[in-house]
């Protein structure tokens, strides 16, 4: 494995007590296995001493690199930035809170080298709160698997391994990092799930609570849209619209028949329905056309970053210019 290069991507938001220990653990786990690697910490607007701690790590070890965000942009943006600046043939994402165990990294790398594009960690023995975390997560995983048709036991686990090509084409926002395997399925990737260790959070607090469930759900709707219809939005809106129109026209014809052939009044509830159906149908089709135009623009590449960076520490000018 002489020349293989590995990038570890770690989002950090107020993890001052964790980053030092995490660094030690990562070094311990990688040292015997690999000659070339970089550890990219993304400081996502921490308000504690995380950044200072990271700078110290960088001073002692040049393989440690830091992207310092101007403010908190969220875990997805942080992972995205890490991907954009990474140079590895294999890229690993891992949380900074020590809940994932860096000792699992070599197993994940091996799986990627075996030929999988994405290797997902599965926290079989998850050490989190039962009602607020494990229960929503159980149903969440079932729902996401059902809707995206990419079946995984643990969408929430951020300990994952990627082949370079996969990360180059991903754009993440909102809570999208959780859906990476589903998003990537669009590219026809091969993925696999392997059991990984999980530990309790000892230092610092979890950044999320039940409130996240809502955002995760909304993102799932937009994900489904992206996965199924974003190339041809007119096909959903348009078919809904046509359907409404046909129903509207049919009931309209029926009312005309009632009025002119049966000589009864057509001014009954069905008239409201007729007008509404035709109107909604027409709106749906126009909306579909509008979405169609937006989709074209979207897929032609909206090349804006979703974050702004204050400092890039440890990267060469080349790295910074080269990023996708």
How many angstroms separate the Cα of 1 from the Cα of each of 34, 105, 108, 164?
A: 7, 15, 15, 16
Q: Site residues (CB under 5 A) for Mg ion? A: 95, 97, 99
Q: Residue 163 or 178: which CB sits closer to ligand UDP? A: 178
Q: Which stretch binds ligand UDP (CB under 6 A): 27-35, 136-144, 204-212, 229-237?
A: 204-212
Q: Which stretch binds ligand UDP (CB under 6 A): 6-14, 135-143, 285-293, 302-310?
A: 6-14
44 scored as a contact of ligand UDP (CB under 6 A): yes
11 scored as a contact of ligand UDP (CB under 6 A): yes
Q: Which stretch binds ligand UDP (CB under 6 A): 26-34, 52-60, 90-98, 282-290?
A: 90-98
Closest CA to 66 of 56, 90, 76, 305: 56
Q: Residue 13 or 237: which CB sits closer to ligand UDP? A: 13
Which of the choices Mg ion, ligand UDP, none does residue 175 contact, using the CB cut-off of 5 to 8 A by kind? none
With a CB cutoff of 8 Å and minimum separation 6, the contacts of 32 are none
Nearest-approach distance from CB 45 to ligand UDP, in angstroms: 8
d(CA 137, CA 127): 13
- With both helix axes pointing from N to C terminus, report the angle between 211-228 and 135-148 in degrees, rounded to the nearest 10: 10
Q: Report the site for ligand UDP in 48-87 (rule: CB under 6 A).
A: 72, 74-75, 78
Please list, residue by residue across 18-42, b when 16 or more beta carbons sit within 10 angstroms of its beta carbon and e when fewer do: bbeebbebbbebbeeebebbbbbbb
d(CA 216, CA 157): 14
Q: Residue 92 or 244: which CB sits closer to ligand UDP? A: 92
Which of the choices Mg ion, ligand UDP, none does residue 11 contact, using the CB cut-off of 5 to 8 A by kind? ligand UDP
d(CA 153, CA 244): 39
Backbone angles phi, psi at 170, to 5 degrees: -105, 135
219 scored as a contact of ligand UDP (CB under 6 A): no
Length of the chain measured in residues:
324
Residue for token digits 């026209």?
A: 249
Q: Residue 93 or 274: which CB sits closer to ligand UDP? A: 93
Q: Which residues bind ligand UDP (CB under 6 A)?
A: 11-13, 15, 44, 72, 74-75, 78, 95-97, 99, 206-208
């Amino acid at each position: 494995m002489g020349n293989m290069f590995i990038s570890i991507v770690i989002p950090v938001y107020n993890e001052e007590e964790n980053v030092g220990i995490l660094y030690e653990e990562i070094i311990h786990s990688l040292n015997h296995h690999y000659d070339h690697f970089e550890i990219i910490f993304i400081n996502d607007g921490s308000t504690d001493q995380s950044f200072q701690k990271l700078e110290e790590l960088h001073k002692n070890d040049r393989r440690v690199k830091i992207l310092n965000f101007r403010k908190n942009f969220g875990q997805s943006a942080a992972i995205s930035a890490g991907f954009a600046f990474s140079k590895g043939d294999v890229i690993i994402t891992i949380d900074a809170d020590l809940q994932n165990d860096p000792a699992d990294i070599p197993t994940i790398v091996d799986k990627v080298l075996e030929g999988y594009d994405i290797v997902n960690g599965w926290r079989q023995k998850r050490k989190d709160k039962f009602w607020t975390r494990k229960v929503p997560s159980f149903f969440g995983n079932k729902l996401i698997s059902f809707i995206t048709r990419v079946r995984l036991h643990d969408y929430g686990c951020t300990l994952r391994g990627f082949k370079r090509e996969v990360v180059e084409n991903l754009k993440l926002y909102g809570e999208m990092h959780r859906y990476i395997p589903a998003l990537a399925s669009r590219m026809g990737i091969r993925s696999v799930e392997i059991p990984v260790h999980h530990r309790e959070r000892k230092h610092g607090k979890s950044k999320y609570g039940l409130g996240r469930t809502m955002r995760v759900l909304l993102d799932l709707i937009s994900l489904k849209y992206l996965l199924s219809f974003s190339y041809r939005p007119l096909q959903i809106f348009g078919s809904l619209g046509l359907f409404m129109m046909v129903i509207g026209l049919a009931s309209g014809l029926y009312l005309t028949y009632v009025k002119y052939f049966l000589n009864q009044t057509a001014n009954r509830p069905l008239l409201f329905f007729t007008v509404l159906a035709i109107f909604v149908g027409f709106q749906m089709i126009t909306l579909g056309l509008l979405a169609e135009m937006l989709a074209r623009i979207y897929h032609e590449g909206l090349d804006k970053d979703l974050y702004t960076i204050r400092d890039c520490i440890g990267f060469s000018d080349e790295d910074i210019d080269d990023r996708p």
